[in-house]
Amino acid sequence: MIDKKHNAYWIETYGCQMNIAESNALELSLIEHGISKAKRGEEADCVIINTCSVRKTAENRIWGRIGFYKHLKEDHDLTLIITGCMAERLHDEIIEMAPAVDHVIGTNDKYRIAAILSGASDERKEEYTFTHNYHKMGDISSFVPIMNGCNNFCSYCIVPYVRGREISRSVTSIIEEVKRLEDLGVKEITLLGQNVNSYNYTENGILYQFPDILDKVVREATQVKWIRFESPHPKDFSPDLISLIAKEEKLPHHLHIPLQSGSTKILTAMRRKYTRDSFLALISDITRAIPDMTYTTDVMVGFPGETEDDFNETLSVINEVKFIEAFMYYFNPREGTKAVEMSHQVPIAIRMERLNRLIENQRALTKEHKLKRCNDTVELLVEGKAKKNKEHYLGRSEHNEMIVFEPKKPLQNGEVVTVALSGLVGNTYKGTLI
Ligand code: SF4
């Protein structure tokens, strides 16, 4: 039990969108408990590090941050809290190896932190608790977590071991949050879950699956421009979901859908529960119903047992789908997952070499797509002033593209405008307001 009152907090967040959303919720509950935000870590009297455990590199970084705050504590009265997936996975190790850490709080227990730091009563809850607020004040976009956890146990993934089994959030709670965000002027909502399209909740005797809750959010969020969702799993992408996206204007024609590998042999070893052919069939079903759909994805190379032929199968799927962007990484053995024990581990040099070829290939695809897009006219949501040139504005398109453009008049965040694309500034489009 921490027995002193705290005045100023500082949060460091690592990892996925779910962690970002939960840090936003934590920030608001700290403010509700009378603790204000410090300008930087050195000026705070409580620091919370919201950690990620998806790869060893992510955890190594946290040990570095703990070291930094350990030194700061030598001449600075500071409470240090470690939370998130690494806290869940390495709870005892952190307590043993880092005495500078005052509290280690598991990823599903973040709701307790504000009470602990403000001396309020610290009530533990059995189940994962969806709080009511994941919005960063002033942003025109907001995450709305609708699920937590995952039941898939892909053989390389730590998430099911640190976030637990899938829990879906109540329909009432989701709609309340969406309506409140609408009142706050939010124009873009992203429904979040590690496996968002396996949402499953019964309320008043009615079963809501993902297309049902998405449809309800579309109906209720009358002032919101776009409703996105992340991350869908290819195995749970139903024909109902495709037809809903095809008919609803609020559902952007852009999808982030993880592929991971283009080889059915490797997908099976990953326990992804779909094949190369079923993935390609899904993409062609979606593209037939929504011809202007654009796709981004996640791809892993160097999974145990991956041969040059398997790698080439991955490249061929990528070139067939023509993803406009991709998150690409090589296999990282993760303690506690099945894949770490697998035979035929691929040497790091080969994993890195394949990753470089994958990146080169994707760079060419992305460039080809972007050059083809120049001279298009796009509708976008104004997100604010451009970083480099405050005369210009930054906006996001339906296809999740960032555009820097010259205004003809002052604009408000959240306004919908039309811009003529005229080229690229590095990886960002540039354009002129029409
Ligand atoms: S679907 Fe697989 S990769 Fe995604 S969170 Fe679940 S176990 Fe991890």
Asked whether residue 257 is assigned to any structural domain, the reply reads no
Q: Residue 233 CA: which ligand 1 atom is closest?
A: 1
**Among 195, 272, 337, which is best to mutate for testing ligand 1, by the most ligand atoms less than 8 A from CB?**
195
DSSP string, 222-257: TT-SEEEEEPPPGGG--HHHHHHHHH-TTS-SEEE-
Domain finish residue from 90, 118, 146: 118
Token representation of residue 270: 């990953």
Between strands 141-145 and 103-106, the pairing is unpaired
Asked whether residue 61 is assigned to any structural domain, the reply reads yes
* CATH number of residue 202's parent domain: 3.30.750.210
Say if residue 394 is in the same domain as residue 365: no
pLDDT for 286: 98
**Among 158, 159, 197, which is best to mutate for testing ligand 1, by the most ligand atoms less than 8 A from CB?**
159
Say if residue 25 is in the same domain as residue 62: yes
Determine whether the shortest distance from the Cβ of 148 to ligand 1 is under 6 A: no
* CATH number of residue 56's parent domain: 3.40.50.12160
Between strands 46-51 and 79-84, the pairing is parallel
Q: Residue 194 CA: which ligand 1 atom is closest?
A: 5
Say if residue 315 is in the same domain as residue 408: no
Say if residue 162 is in the same domain as residue 144: yes
**Among 194, 231, 236, 299, which is best to mutate for testing ligand 1, by the most ligand atoms less than 8 A from CB?**
194
Say if residue 146 is in the same domain as residue 211: yes
Asked whether residue 197 is assigned to any structural domain, the reply reads yes
Determine whether the shortest distance from the Cβ of 259 to ligand 1 is under 6 A: no
Q: Residue 260 CA: which ligand 1 atom is closest?
A: 3
Residue with the nearest Cα to atom 8 of ligand 1? 157
pLDDT for 367: 93
Asked whether residue 213 is assigned to any structural domain, the reply reads yes
Say if residue 246 is in the same domain as residue 178: yes
Token representation of residue 220: 């209720």
| Residues facing residue 419 across a β-bridge | 378, 433
The number of domains in the chain is 4
- Give the orientation angle of helix 171-183 with respect to helix 210-220, to 10 degrees: 30
Q: Which residues contact 12 (CB under 8 A, 6 or more apart)?
A: 41, 47, 48, 49, 50, 65
Determine whether the shortest distance from the Cβ of 162 to ligand 1 is under 6 A: no
CA distances to 187, 243, 267, 417 from 397, rounded to whole Å, are 12, 21, 32, 10
Say if residue 157 is in the same domain as residue 235: yes
Asked whether residue 265 is assigned to any structural domain, the reply reads no
Strands laid side by side in the 294-301 sheet:
254-256, 294-301, 325-330
Say if residue 178 is in the same domain as residue 71: no
Query: 190 and 229 in contact (C-beta within 8 Å)?
Result: yes
Asked whether residue 279 is assigned to any structural domain, the reply reads no
Determine whether the shortest distance from the Cβ of 152 to ligand 1 is under 6 A: yes
Determine whether the shortest distance from the Cβ of 150 to ligand 1 is under 6 A: yes
Domain enclosing residue 349, as ranges: 289-373
pLDDT for 56: 85
Instruction: State the 10-residue block means of pLDDT for the chain, 434 residues long.
Output: 77 94 92 93 97 90 97 95 96 96 94 88 75 76 95 96 95 95 94 96 97 98 97 97 98 98 98 98 98 98 98 98 97 92 97 98 95 94 89 94 91 94 89 92
Report how far ligand 1's centroid is from the alpha carbon of 386 (Å).
35
Asked whether residue 263 is assigned to any structural domain, the reply reads no
Token representation of residue 243: 């037809």
Say if residue 350 is in the same domain as residue 422: no
Domain finish residue from 91, 118, 145: 118
Strands laid side by side in the 188-192 sheet:
141-145, 188-192, 226-230
Asked whether residue 13 is assigned to any structural domain, the reply reads yes
* CATH number of residue 385's parent domain: 2.40.50.140
Determine whether the shortest distance from the Cβ of 107 to ligand 1 is under 6 A: no
* CATH number of residue 299's parent domain: 3.30.750.200
Q: Rounded CA gap, 415 and 402, in Å?
A: 15
Token representation of residue 107: 């990823």
Say if residue 184 is in the same domain as residue 218: yes
Q: Chain-centre distance of CA 263, in angstroms?
A: 25
Say if residue 390 is in the same domain as residue 330: no
Token representation of residue 131: 């709080």
Determine whether the shortest distance from the Cβ of 194 to ligand 1 is under 6 A: yes
Say if residue 325 is in the same domain as residue 229: no
Query: 405 and 418 in contact (C-beta within 8 Å)?
Result: no
Report how far ligand 1's centroid is from the alpha carbon of 259 (Å).
12
